[in-house]
Structure 1
Amino acid sequence: MTTYPNTEETIQLIQELVSIPSPSGYTDNVIQFVEDYLTKRDVDTYRNRKGGLIATLPGQDTTRHRMLTAHVDTLGAMVKEVKGNGRLKIALIGGFKFNSIEGEYCRIHTAGGHDITGTILMHQTSVHVYKDAGTAERNEDNMEIRVDARVENADDVRALGIEVGDFVSFDPRVETTDSGFIKSRHLDDKASVAILLQLIKRVQEENITLPYTTHFLISNNEEIGYGGNSNITPETVEYLAVDMGAMGDGQATDEYTVSICVKDASGPYHLGLRNHLVELARKNNIGYQLDIYPYYGSDASAAIRAGHDIVHGLVGPGIDSSHAFERTHEASLTNTEHLLYHYIQSEMV
């Protein structure tokens, strides 16, 4: 029998996912990748009108359902202005700071269907020219894209097919290390998407009969607040978001365990479900941490705000430097996969 979790396989899947550009609003290609992955395994799927993907595994109890969700959309940008000097102003998609993308390689996805590369820089980058190169504010007025083409004015840029509203994606720069780390942009939340795909695969390979019909929502608008707030069946009782655990000063979350969120900016998560997850972790020797994420919202909290009568929770691998140059460890991926494996086979709270 195949060893599970197969961490190498999970990491390979993460590498494939983060390499597909998918800022919120530009997710068709990555949704197609996930759909193809599941279709090959004869999993029933359908797309909602927002473009997200729902997969369903039947269970013994069809009157009460579970839903697990992870989001495949990422941070990104959009062309805001074609400047007279041939450079581009950008508007951010998602909650992050301009300083986290300074110097990053990017791709402009034109409406005509082709990509043009560039680099995100301060206008005042050259220290040989600009006295305030180090002190000028990193903001929408000062940051711009240097297009990798011979352009000297706005007309030259538009001749390439670039226009206001074109999506901009960031180079993930994905790497793995011999010490077990994977570092890349967009581990939030493609690491969790890979984990859910691996979980579905294992259920099939082991011919597991789940106690409840279980849905898997691969949402595509989480970074802008509403990815998982719809397409929740009325039979759904438990709704578990699988998303990154936030690390930093005062946080318990680390890169080696599964993070179980007890509260974020939306308020506390369901106490009974939280306690159930902790019990499963303890019973199965799964490394975990309980934590509060102060500036965070999930697809589960979006579902609650939308008025769904559900028991909601949030777990995920610990991710360092969220919304910037992210990193996690294979141990965190493994602990998260183990917890979800036992959770979907457990009784409801």
Structure 2
Amino acid sequence: MIRSVIRGTGSALPKDCVSNDELAARVDTSDEWIRERTGITQRYIAGEGETTGTLATAAARAALDDAGLTIADIDLIVLATATPDNTFPATATQVQSRLGGAGFPAFDVAAVCSGFLYALTTADAMLRTGMAKRAIVIGAETFSRILDWEDRTTCVLFGDGAGAMVIEAQDVTEDGPGIIASRLHAEGEHCEMLYVDGGPSTTGTVGHVRMKGREVFRHAVVNLAGVLGEVLAEAGCEASDIDWVVPHQANLRILDATARKLGLPMERVVVTVDQHANTSAASVPLAFDVAKKDGRIQPGDLVMLEAMGGGFTWGASLLRV
């Protein structure tokens, strides 16, 4: 069977690391308040000259190096972001150009925190149907540019960064590597619970992130547990078969509640929210790269990726490394 197999991963972070204490010096909050409610201790904030595109390019280049490939080996780029460099063209096209590529399709996907799952599933479908052979799938964000720094309930939650995977279509056996099963969902009726209050067609401005945290938490735990069950059922697996869960890094409480619903110990959940905060579409590939590079995720491991974001959108993918 044809599956999309991970050849390499990479990530990139801005230079400026901002601790909770540093944030508390300019926002009405405290290290204790942030840690207790979110588990976050620090985040990275993009500075001058650092954009979603530059971070995405750095992560993609690192993934290519990890795969032992060059841009000449790639024929597709899918980039997930809610904070593109420009309204258009797609930031993916700028990444393509900066890497020295041309001619093949490169486009953005907008599904906020679930964006990387949407991008990965899209690229996987294109690889399995023969539309491409190798793809770079990227999640990249500069959420700091759309935060209201007077709103302590949201501005403390987010950070900037990028993560990338190089995936390749391979003919494998049933127990071989690659993406095994994926499921995506959306419910637009809940958009007012997590959204940005601006846009080109409405206000003509970028706007700021607005969120009803308690309602988002409740939906996240229920929706994520549901989609994880769907993916496991499609793959014919049990939760106990999973070696690692790499979740969207939104809030330590959500990660813990989701793990408990699956009956999995937190020791098998990759947690980077304490170091990176919520990097939206970048959080899943960024966390995956960290766990792969530090040796937790090993070849042959069964790994579940999951995320939920504004829209609401949510999804999950089960893969073998």
Q: Same fold (TM over 0.5)?
A: no
Which structure has the larger Rg? Answer: 1
The answer to which structure has the higher helix fraction is 2
Q: Which has the higher contact order (CA 8 A, sep 6+)?
A: 2
